[in-house]
Amino acid sequence: MDGAAATAVPSAGLLPFGDKMEFLGIDLPSYSWATVFGSAISGVFLGAVYALVALGLTLIYGVLHIINFAHGSLLMLAMFAVYFLWKLLGIDPYVAMLIVVPGGFLFGYGLQRLIIGQSSHGRDEIILLVTLGIAIVIENAALFAFSADERLVQVPYDMDGIDLGVTYAVYPELAALGGSLLITLLLWLFMTRTDTGKAIRAVAKERRGARLVGINVDHIFAISFGIGTACVAAAASLLAATYPVHPQFGYLFVLIAFTIVVLGGMGSFVGALVGGFIIGITEQLGRLYLGESLGLITISAIFILILLFRPTGLFGQRVR
């Protein structure tokens, strides 16, 4: 799980200068304005990727009221799919999106329809445990099949990019930012403009009422789960060129995605996007000031504080 953290967005010019403060034996350096700003910009790129993972999670929660613990392992699985498409067939990770996104949809649809829906008896706490069980099966199946080695897709353009003055942005980062904004927009259009999208919103608002007007609720549940998984698959192909994948890859991401979803408000798309950026920037600044390891405490701290004091999050409407 540290592999994912250590390979976070490279940021330039992190040389500290000036006085050092000490906090519990850790030096708190002071930085120039440009360094802090550059770090915040890398946080925006990181946040875009987080937002993409969180989007799928928030959609599933908004409709099914499921906290999907399998989300991280689905991300990991999709990353392995992207990796092997590249390794064995030479397919560029961004082109692989055309394959893994529909594949992810079908996989998620089947998972909800055949396993989660069947075994959970409609009880929230059982659903939670079933998704945890699925996560464990997927994670360990990957460990069994692929071993714990880290694998990275190598694209010829992974170091090219544009100089933003305070930091250097490589194309994979820019693609992740653009991709996540585009997917949020597409998802929003789908939810507001199409009949299926409207049916999903109807089910999210009032399950029984939706059933009464003739909506097949089980089908809609599975479709939502499928779309959530498709989002994660899209995220996987946007991440593949920057993050090496290994079986435990999903754990760190799922923790961060939960934080974002709770911060943004369970079920809110805008919340997931804004939350993603907030967490991305906080994490980068946390790393800058507290160091690579302790910097991650900022995420847990935000998570705990939001859960305690504002469980509806920034844009959420209802708590269960």
Partner 1 sequence: MSEQTRIAGWTVLLALLVLAPLAITSGRWIEFMELTLFVAVLGQGWNILGGFGGQYSFGHALFFGTGAYIQALLQFKLGWSPWATLWFAIAGGVLVGAFVGYLSFRYGLRGSYFALITLAFAEAFHVLSRSLVAVTEGGRGVALDLNLDPDRALTTFQFNFGGDFLKAYGFYYTILVILMLAYAATWWMEHTRFGAQLVAVRENEDAAEALGIDAFRVKLGAICLSAAITAAAGVYYTQKFLFIDPGIAYGPTKSVEALFAPIIGGLGTVLGPLVGALFLHGLGEFAKETIGLVWEDRPGLDLILFGVVLILVLAFLPRGLVGLLDLAWRRLSGAAPAARKGKADA
CA 225 from chain centre, in angstroms, equals 15
Q: At what angle do helices 269-290 and 171-193 cross, to 10 degrees?
A: 160
With residues binned 3-state (H G I as helix, E B as strand, rest as coil), the percentages for the chain, rounded to 5, are 70, 5, 25
- Of the chain, the end-to-end C-alpha distance in Å amounts to 30
Residue type present at position 96:
A
Q: State in angstroms the smallest separation of the CB of 58 from partner 1.
A: 14
Window of 138-146, 185-193, 215-223, 227-235 that interacts with partner 1 by CB under 8 A: 138-146
Q: Which amino acid is at 260?
A: I
Judged by CB under 8 A, the residue of 67, 82, 233, 241 near partner 1 is: 67
Contact range with partner 1 by CB under 8 A, out of 28-36, 43-51, 173-181, 253-261: 253-261
Q: What is the secondary structure of 32-73 as a DSSP string? A: -HHHHHHHHHHHHHHHHHHHHHHHHHHHHHHHH----TTHHH
Query: With binding defined as CB under 8 A, does residue 294 bind partner 1?
Result: yes
Out of 63, 130, 220, 222, point to the residue binding partner 1 (CB under 8 A): 130
Shorter beta-carbon distance to partner 1: residue 32 or 312:
312
Question: Contact with partner 1 (CB under 8 A): which of 36, 255, 270, 314?
Answer: 255
Nearer Cβ to partner 1 (215/299): 299
- The answer to whether 197 contacts partner 1 (rule: CB under 8 A) is no
Residue 149 binds to partner 1 (criterion: CB under 8 A): no
Q: Which stretch binds partner 1 (CB under 8 A): 10-18, 130-138, 174-182, 183-191?
A: 130-138
Told to check if 126 binds partner 1 by CB under 8 A, we report yes
Beta-strand ranges (E) seen in 168-269 are 168-170
Smallest gap from Cβ 135 to partner 1, in A, equals 8
- State both tokens at 20: 């050092």
User: Residue 16, interface with partner 1 (CB under 8 A)?
Assistant: no
Nearer to partner 1 among residue 74 and residue 290 (C-beta): 290
Does 59 sit near partner 1 (CB under 8 A)?
no
C-alpha dist (Å) from residue 246 to 1, 148, 173, 276: 9, 6, 20, 23
Cα 268 → chain centroid:
14
The values of phi and psi at residue 85, to 5°, are -60, -35
- The answer to whether 208 contacts partner 1 (rule: CB under 8 A) is no
How far apart are CB 78 and partner 1 at their closest, in Å?
A: 19
Can residue 154 be called a binding residue for partner 1 (CB under 8 A)? no
Provide the minimum distance between the beta carbon of 186 and partner 1 in the complex, in angstroms, as a whole number. Answer: 28
Options 29-37, 216-224, 271-279, 285-293: segment touching partner 1 (CB under 8 A):
285-293
Whole-angstrom Cα distance, residue 152 to residue 50? 19
Q: Does residue number 121 form part of the binding site for partner 1 (CB under 8 A)? A: yes
Closest to 72 (Cα-Cα) out of 295, 252, 286, 193: 252
CA distances from 287 to 4, 63, 107, 262 (A): 14, 35, 36, 22
DSSP 25: T
Among 21, 95, 106, 136, binds partner 1 (CB under 8 A): 136
**Contacting residue, 259, 268, 282, 284, with partner 1 by CB under 8 A:** 259
Which two tokens mark 232? 């994660």
Residues near partner 1, by CB under 8 A: 1, 24-26, 67, 69, 115, 118-121, 124-126, 128-130, 132-137, 139-144, 147-148, 247, 251, 255, 258-259, 262, 290-291, 293-294, 296-297, 299-301, 303-304, 307-309, 311, 319-320
